[in-house]
Amino acid sequence: MFENFSGVVSKIRNSITLKIVLIAFIILVLQVPVLMVYGLIADRQRSQNTAISDVTSKWGKTQLVSGPYMIFPAVRKIDEKKKENTAVYLLPSTLKIQGEVTPQIRYRGIYQVVLYSAELKITGRFDYDFPAAAPDNPEKIFLNDAVFALGISDIIGIRKYTVKINGTEVAPRSGIPDRRIAESGIHIPLPLTASKGEIEFEISILLNGSTGLEFLPLGQQTSVQLGSSWADPSFCGSILPTNHYIARNEFRAEWNTTSLNRNYPQQWIGSAYSTKNSSFGVEFKLLTSLYTQVHRAINYAALFMVFIMMAYLIGERAAKVWMHPLQYFLCGCAIVLFYSILLSVGEHLPFHWAYAIAAVSVTLLTAFYCKAIFRKNKVAVCEGIAMFFAYGIIFLLLKLETYALLVGSAVLFVLLAVLMAVTANVNKEKAP
């Protein structure tokens, strides 16, 4: 009876079907610590965003330069008894912006923050003709209350400025009296005596900001030329550069647009049009962030576990040594620990070094553990090579962003073919 019981236990222990079910259950349980690592990544990202916001709030956030443009208070007749106060907006006939952007990287604790100082020269001309050219024929336009406005999204970044109108230097005031085009910026009261004429302007401004610099194409003819020592620009917005040059330590870009490239005219009244979603510019970002790369890496965690667990199962059959479910679980915990090591080391070292340290550490740990389990150097070395190969494939997929799906599918096909070949004879027994 005891022998029969021992035989049943032996069959259960050597049952591949049961072992595969146990492995699947272990992988499912290991998704709990994987989810905890996801939460850790999100928490570190929040800490990074807090540090970045703290620095940029004192230096200058992403800057959006709007204008300049003119605001004319007006009264519009709605019906015989009702009138409303409104404003007429006039955009420049020509607008040319030339800028040189000097980026820098600062640290808040372990976090990097990209800041810049932009020297901008803004020139152009307004052509106005009231009231004949006024839209919707407002009953009265107050030319004496005209305002010259320049929108700047974060005015804390303004460092130096010079404003000349028709060749005369004037002193701007903080804020914008009307916020339909820009929420913040500077303005200059500019009383006009004639209903027809032109206004030439020249603005030089030193503007601090972070992450990005964008512009609104308010000119009937708009030209923006930017240069910087930043080697990895990301052009953004509604319009891409007409011409650009990117070298190892600099870039040059030029945008040329007309009023036909946007969805609002040169002149309108009230809230008839909006300038939203028409900005363009450049972003100064670091290469793919650590947290994004770790997040992408952990997306392969379940697949990685399946491959490694199958390698352990094959090693178990080759060494003819029974591997306890607890030992499978501990090896799975080592795989999860890889992502925690990658995240923590990656905050202090470049990603490729952090990945190498995490991969080598976990591979050596599991290889020595396999040697202790199987008591065969050859099996332990094969398990270590399999794990190191798997980490290499994951790293390759992380670097080949565009072709990651194609390469990943090909690798999975090859691995599946190998597993099929290795396990083809698993259920065959010698004839009696």
| Nearest residue to 220 (alpha-carbon basis) of 133, 122, 95, 135 | 95
**Distance from C-alpha of 281 to C-alpha of 234, rounded to nearest angstrom:** 9
Q: Is the pLDDT of residue 288 over 80?
A: no
* Confidence (pLDDT) at 220: 92
Structure tokens at 194: 């004639």
* Confidence (pLDDT) at 187: 92
The residue behind tokens 């809230």 is 271
* Confidence (pLDDT) at 11: 58
Given a contact cutoff of 8 angstroms between Cβ atoms, the answer to whether 345 and 43 are in contact is: no
pLDDT in tens, 182-202: 889 999 998 888 878 889 999
Average pLDDT over residues 255-281: 89
* Confidence (pLDDT) at 294: 87
Average pLDDT over residues 388-395: 85
Average pLDDT over residues 362-376: 86
Handedness of CA 373, 379, 385, 389 (dihedral sign): negative
Q: Is the pLDDT of residue 2 over 50?
A: no
Q: Is the pLDDT of residue 123 over 90?
A: yes
Average pLDDT over residues 386-403: 81
Whole-model pTM above 0.95? no
Structure tokens at 212: 């990005």
Reported confidence tier of residue 413, pLDDT bands at 50, 70, 90: confident
**Distance from C-alpha of 64 to C-alpha of 149, rounded to nearest angstrom:** 14
Side chain identity at 21, as an amino acid letter? V
Given a contact cutoff of 8 angstroms between Cβ atoms, the answer to whether 134 and 58 are in contact is: no
32-41, 347-356, 358-367, 422-431: least confidently modelled range: 422-431
pLDDT in tens, 128-184: 887 654 455 666 788 888 899 999 999 999 998 999 999 888 999 888 888 888 889
Domains of the chain: which residue ranges? 14-47+291-422, 61-286
Q: Which is more confidently placed, 96 or 371? A: 96
Given a contact cutoff of 8 angstroms between Cβ atoms, the answer to whether 134 and 142 are in contact is: no
- Mean pLDDT, rounded, of the chain: 84
* Confidence (pLDDT) at 150: 94
Handedness of CA 194, 197, 200, 201 (dihedral sign): positive
Q: Is the pLDDT of residue 248 over 50?
A: yes
Given a contact cutoff of 8 angstroms between Cβ atoms, the answer to whether 322 and 13 are in contact is: yes
Residue 72 has a CB neighbour count (10 Å cut-off) of 25
Angle between helices 325-346 and 301-319 (to 10 degrees): 140
Residue 375 has a CB neighbour count (10 Å cut-off) of 11
